[in-house]
Amino acid sequence: MEKSLKARAVDLLSRREYSRRELERRLAPHAESAEALAAVLDELAERNWQSDARFAEQFAEARARKYGTRRVRLEMRERGVDAGLIDEALSGHDDFPAALAQWQKKFGQLPQSPEEKARQIRFLATRGFGMDVIRRILRHAADDLPDDPSL
Q: What are the residue boundaries of the structural domains of the chain, listed by start?
A: 1-50, 52-93, 95-144
In whole angstroms, give the CA distance from residue 71 to residue 63. 9
Query: Residue 1: its pLDDT value, please?
Result: 47
Domain 1-50 sits in CATH 1.10.10.10: yes
Neighbours of 73 (CB within 10 A): 20
Q: Which amino acid is at 90?
A: L
In three state form, how does the secondary structure of 12-69 look? HHHHCCCCHHHHHHHHHHHCCCHHHHHHHHHHHHHCCCCCHHHHHHHHHHHHCCCCCH
Q: Which amino acid is at 86?
A: I
Q: What is the mean pLDDT of each run of 10 residues along the chain (151 residues)?
A: 84 96 95 93 96 96 93 96 95 92 93 93 96 91 52 33
Query: Residue 61: its pLDDT value, please?
Result: 93
